[in-house]
Amino acid sequence: MPELPEVETTRAGIEPHVRGQTVRTVIVRQPQLRWPVSPDLAHVLPGQIIHTVHRRAKYLLFEADTGHACLHLGMSGRLRIVPADTPVARHDHVDIVLDNDWTMRFNDARRFGSLFWLDGPPEQFSLLAHLGPEPLGDEFDGDWLYARSRGKKASVKTFIMDSATVVGVGNIYACEALHAARIHPRRPAGRIGRIRYRALAKAIRQVLADAIIAGGTTLRDYIGVDGDTGYFQLRLAAYGKTGEPCPRGCGPIRREVIGQRSTFFCPVCQK
């Protein structure tokens, strides 16, 4: 699944092409995604200007005159800018055609994505209302993690992957941040002190920022808006490295399943 860096990379690649452009038409070829595409979208969005593109967690918010188009890429979704006359490919489910003869095209082979029209404040939308802070925003730090973790018996990995704690820390980046902070992923969240949480928050910020600069992590399905793949996978220290030496010169990286997700860590330096 595209994680926060991949979604942010998509946002940054899409926005210059759509900002200030008027929507000519919306073509919905397959309305049955994870949830049905909002029926209002094809009727309300044409004629409106897309003013900017925001990201909230893994959702893209296209701000128009009277509301927002809210897109989630799902597990395999791709959003690209193509000429309006580009032939339609398999799994090209939705086109948002602009007046400049370019089209924002959503392709989703597994159909786990979603596309909604929001005519109210996005923060009141049911899927966004209860999300935690952005990991790269001012509200997120080690003190926040420490306060939220008190009394928590769940593993710290499960804790930081909970979107009510902080958004956008998916499996890959949770493994990498915990390795950078030298924290064992099975350690109970409530038994980690403030100083170590400050180190973990710093690691989460750094890992995500580095991944955004590198264009994300391509493991299976993710392809960027320009068709290129991300390169952060070349810099992974723990994820997917089972049996390989820890970059710190410790023992081999170990794989275990935590919360039904493959988890990679160094049993020597992560405590």
Binding residues for DNA: 91, 110, 152
Contacts of 85 (CB under 8 A, 6+ apart): 101
Catalytic residues: 2-3, 58, 261
Residue 68 φ/ψ, nearest 5 degrees: -135, 140
Q: How many other β-carbons are positioned within 10 Å of the β-carbon of residue 164? A: 10
Helices marked H in the chain — which ranges? 4-18, 41-44, 142-149, 156-161, 171-181, 194-213
Q: Which residues pair with 21 in a beta bridge?
A: 50
Q: How far is CA 31 from CA 7, 40, 88, 163, in A?
A: 22, 12, 16, 27
Q: Which residues are annotated as a binding site?
A: 91, 110, 152
Contact in structure between 112 and 33 (CB atoms under 8 Å): yes
C-alpha of 229 from chain center: 15
Question: How far is residue 116's CA from residue 5's CA, in Å, rounded to a whole number?
Answer: 22
Contacts of 74 (CB under 8 A, 6+ apart): 1, 33, 34, 108, 110, 111, 112, 113, 114
